[in-house]
Amino acid sequence: MNSDWEALFSPKAGAACDHYRRFEEDFDLAQSLNQNAHRFSVEWARIEPEKDRFDEREVGHYRQVLQALRQRGIRPLVTLHHFTNPLWFFKRGGWENRGAASYFASYVRFVVTQLGDLCDFWVTINEPTVYASEGYLFGRWLPGKRDPLSSATVLKNLLKAHRAAYEIIHEIQPKAAVGISYNVPYFRVPGLSAAFSAFDRKVMAWAGKQDFLGINYYRAVGRVGDLPKSDLDWAIYPQGLADIIARLKEFNLPIYITENGIADADDDQRADYIADHLAAVWRAIQAGADIRGYFYWSLLDNFEWAKGFYPRFGLAEVDYETLERTIRPSAKVYARIAKGNSL
């Protein structure tokens, strides 16, 4: 157990949907749904299980993953940090450690050197504000702290790590596209003019150089009693995405919707959710926004952090006993949209 989450957190992910071993099958599924891009994460704990010891076998695995995507005409978007950390890093204080960004930079340099011939599209950090708040402000994730100062330190170090990673990636790949994925809810509050918080906009500015903004959008918060809800009781508000995109014009950067999805085990809301949010994206494009891509979250049902396996986000349902994949009806609707056919 080289990862902090798997060693120290409960519930355990275990093999989860076993994508690690079934990626060829899963990419065939993605291709059958007319997907032309796929976002996945490289696991730092697998690549660097001990400080300064890099696992060539795991590098080989990720090369196979990237090659499998490219063989199917699917462009990979690789995320370098998606919440989990090597256990050795966690034991040294994790993202509170003053040297955290330099540890991460060493890992990034190795990964990009090893995989850069197969990928030039990178997310450095996934949802830095979520990681800093859930683990260090609200105490729901590792390490379970409720300390505003610690949360601020972690966020500062995550953004510092992004800046270091950005420079390293462009040193190795001058033409690479490098950004951060931000979790941005819509604030539905009477009298509030901003579609999302001033703090989120400040974080985007503090991050420094970015070639694009990655936006993870799921829900509205605030006055949401009249809105439909997902299985997680998240309020569904597609127009919020268009309004957020409009507010991002100040950054003058291309935008990718790097996550947008719904927990919907019965699959009775997902098709409309996807269509309505894509319609919101289209309205934003018509209004002049530079939207370069959209990634539904997620291809498969999967382990959803502290919520475990209960939420069902997948275009394909996963039977966690047999690991059988079953394409949901909503996925077929999305596949028709992706192919360019009308509903």
pLDDT (average), residues 237-249: 95
Count of C-beta atoms within a 10 Å radius of residue 191: 4
**Domain span including residue 291:** 4-339
- Cα 208 to chain centroid distance, Å, stands at 19
> How far from 81 is each of 78, 112, 179, 184, CA to CA, in Å?
9, 13, 12, 18
Report cis status (omega within 30 of 0) of the bond before 11.
yes
pLDDT at 259 over 90: yes
Q: Which pLDDT score, from 0 to 100, does residue 342 have?
A: 43
The model's pTM is 0.97
Residue 65 parent element (H or E): helix 56-71
CATH number of the CATH domain containing 91? 3.20.20.80
Q: Is the peptide bond before 185 cis (omega within 30 degrees of 0)?
A: no
Enter the DSSP assignment of 249. G
Residues 62-67, mean pLDDT to the nearest whole number? 98
In this prediction, residue 11 carries a pLDDT of 87
Q: What is the reported pLDDT for 343?
A: 39
pLDDT score for 197: 83
State the average pLDDT over residues 217-246: 96
Q: In this model, does residue 284 exceed pLDDT 50?
A: yes
Task: Indicate the number of domains in the chain.
Answer: 1
Query: What pLDDT, in 10s, does the model give residues 194-204?
Result: 677 889 999 99
Whether 293 has a pLDDT exceeding 50, the answer reads yes
